[in-house]
Amino acid sequence: MSFGHNMNLSGPGITYLLMVIPMFFALVVVGQGVYKISHEESDGGVVLAFGIAFFIIVVAAYFFFIR
């Protein structure tokens, strides 16, 4: 049995690893940013911007590498 010879980037396993898990992380960071902004904490905007940027990076990776 050999592993790693054929990389299938359209399989459900790689899609799960490269899309779903990072997407959940990005949504949690966006939610944390919104929470911090709603409670008038000073770093809420930075956290929100990071979450949105990470979300955009994950979507771009999908279009460039998987699709």
How does pLDDT run across 9-67, given as a tens digit for each residue?
Answer: 666 777 777 688 889 999 999 999 999 999 999 999 999 999 999 999 988 888 887 66
Residue pair 66/14 in contact (Cβ under 8 Å)? The answer is yes
Residue pair 30/53 in contact (Cβ under 8 Å)? The answer is no
Domain-wise residue ranges, the chain: 12-66
**Predicted TM-score (pTM) of this structure:** 0.73
pLDDT of 61: 82
Provide CB contacts within 8 A for 64, sequence distance 6+. Answer: none
pLDDT of 19: 82
The phi, psi pair for 13, rounded to 5°, reads -65, -45
pLDDT of 67: 61
Rg (CA), the chain: 16
Closest C-alpha among 23, 18, 32 to residue 62? 18
